[in-house]
């Protein structure tokens, strides 16, 4: 797997009474967390007794949670309501929902059924839909096929995480395949992006938060060496990828005739070579941990393809919506406009997000587990790495997806109470004027759920 993970051992060590394993783990970023958490929960002489699980295994993921320390609805209201009245959370009262992640019991809600702009917390919906439609083990392929006597076509499958190294592996395999076929003359190279349809630009336009949405790109179309966060992007991700591929073929001794142009692969053409992405479970984790917009839009389109719909913004939105409804989630306040949450037309309720997280915790839905394992850990990983300093309440106890747009701040995730109960929550605020202050207010609310009290002033953004 190409994604370098950040361990959040401290958070899971504190939760060992509640969480025994949260696979699928093969190649996933949370493997070290699972091993450390499981080891801490067992006697010293039994720490290596269970061994490694086979790829694709989906064991009982969340053990039954003890009821000790259960907080009544009145207790939650007493803890949360003063914090949710913080003026930093905007002129409108923020929406909130808290659910027992094991039973699905609604424990607290205010405005929980109202539609709010969810910002990047909508990626939780994208993740659940993709895992349901495609499955956690599926990998996205980039292929090269033959075209006539002297041509090859580079076919984009929709993997935004394809790296220059991966493209080099594909070029090497292609060169070997051409040699085996006896091809010695010039090769005409084309590239195929027909897997997607509709507009390639997000409604926000060409932006450093997302590349044009294409089934063929290298390193998310980034023009620097970054792997996450904002960056300058190419306006032609597919053409750029094809030009890089042509250069790599030449390095392998394949003479490429001219510049590559857009074309269409014959569905019956012989496959020469392919490379595959990490499994969808790992893509989901990376998307949620880093709030990766490019992966989000790719997963939404994979959901559309698996559902027999056009891989466009519109088709993806329809497919994601249908998959979420099939999970039995409350949909009246939900409107999916994109996969990433960059579109302000997205709508979701706090109840919807909290119950989605509870669905992902159900023992009978192991395919959805990456929705939980991909959540950033407060003070340790992803978009929560810097939001809980070392002395902050809730550090390592809170795992949550963040959401930020101008005037919008959201947080949805899970917390472990002192009694070992796993709670799912969602807080949605709009009309905020100070993003940093709003984030601190949301972090204090999440910390209060963990039974740790309010975070200290200046708990970080």
214, 277, 281, 291: the catalytic one is: 291
CA distances from 141 to 156, 157, 275, 304, 424 (A): 8, 5, 6, 16, 34
Can you point out the beta strands (E) in 49-176? 95-100, 106-110, 141-147, 151-155
Whether 291 is a known active-site residue: answer yes
Nearest in space to 238 (alpha carbons), one of 189, 292, 306: 189
DSSP string, 207-225: BTTB----SS-SGGGBSSS
Active site residue 91: no
Contact 448, 441 (CB under 8 A): no
Of 292, 320, 286, 291, which Cα lies nearest the Cα of 304?
320
Q: Is 404 left (phi over 0), alpha (psi -120 to 50) or beta?
A: beta
Distance between start and end Cα atoms, the chain = 30
Phi-psi region of 327 (alpha: psi -120 to 50; beta: other; left: phi over 0): alpha
Active-site choice (31, 120, 132, 430): 120
Taken in order 69, 73, 74, 80, is the CA torsion positive or negative? positive
CB 459 within 8 A of CB 445: no
Q: Which residues of 178-190 are buried (b: 16+ CB within 10 A; e: fewer)?
A: beeeebeeebbbb
CA distance 15 to 415: 9
Q: Which two tokens stand for residue 77?
A: 């209201």
Give the three-state DSSP class for 413: strand
**Any catalytic annotation for residue 277?**
no
User: How many residues are listed for the chain in this entry?
Assistant: 461
Provide the annotated active-site residues: 120, 123, 291
């Amino acid at each position: 797997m190409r994604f370098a993970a950040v361990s959040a051992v401290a958070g899971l060590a504190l939760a060992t009474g509640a969480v025994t394993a949260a696979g699928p783990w093969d190649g996933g970023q949370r493997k070290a967390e699972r091993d450390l958490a499981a080891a801490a929960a067992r006697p010293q002489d039994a720490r290596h007794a269970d061994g490694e699980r086979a790829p694709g295994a989906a064991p009982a993921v969340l053990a039954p949670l003890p009821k000790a320390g259960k907080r009544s609805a009145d207790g939650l209201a007493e803890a949360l309501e003063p914090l949710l009245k913080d003026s930093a959370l905007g002129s409108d009262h923020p929406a909130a929902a808290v659910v027992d992640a094991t039973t699905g019991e609604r424990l607290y809600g205010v405005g929980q059924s109202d539609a709010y702009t969810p910002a990047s917390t909508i990626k939780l919906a994208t993740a659940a839909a993709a895992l349901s439609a495609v499955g956690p083990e599926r990998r996205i392929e980039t292929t090269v096929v033959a075209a006539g006597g002297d041509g090859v076509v580079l076919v984009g499958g929709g993997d935004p995480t394809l790296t220059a190294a991966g493209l080099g592996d594909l070029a090497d395999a292609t060169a070997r395949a051409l040699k085996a076929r006896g091809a010695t003359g010039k090769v005409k190279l084309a590239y195929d992006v027909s897997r997607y349809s509709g507009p390639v630009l997000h409604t926000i336009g060409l932006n450093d938060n997302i590349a044009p949405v294409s089934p063929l790109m290298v390193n998310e179309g980034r023009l620097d060496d970054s792997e996450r966060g904002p960056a300058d992007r190419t306006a032609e991700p597919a053409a750029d990828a094809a030009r890089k591929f042509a250069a790599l073929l030449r390095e392998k001794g394949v003479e490429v005739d001219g510049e590559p142009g857009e074309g269409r692969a014959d569905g019956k053409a012989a496959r020469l070579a392919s490379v595959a992405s990490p499994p969808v479970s790992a893509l989901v984790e990376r998307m949620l941990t880093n709030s990766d917009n490019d992966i989000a839009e790719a997963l939404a389109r994979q959901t559309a393809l698996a559902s027999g719909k056009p891989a466009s913004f519109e088709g993806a939105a329809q497919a994601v919506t249908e998959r979420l409804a099939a999970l039995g989630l409350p949909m009246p306040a939900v409107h999916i406009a994109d996969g990433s949450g960059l579109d302000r037309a997205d709508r979701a309720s706090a109840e919807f997000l909290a119950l989605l997280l509870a669905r992902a915790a159900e023992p009978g839905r192991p395919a959805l587990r990456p929705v939980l394992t991909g959540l950033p850990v407060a003070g340790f990983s992803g978009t929560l790495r810097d939001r809980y300093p070392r002395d902050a309440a809730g550090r390592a106890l809170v795992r949550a997806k963040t959401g930020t747009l101008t005037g919008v701040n959201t947080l949805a995730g899970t917390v472990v109470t002192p009694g070992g109960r796993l709670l799912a929550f969602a807080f949605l605020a709009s009309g905020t004027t100070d993003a940093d202050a709003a984030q601190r207010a949301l972090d204090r609310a999440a910390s209060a759920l963990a039974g740790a009290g309010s975070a200290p002033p200046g708990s970080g953004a």
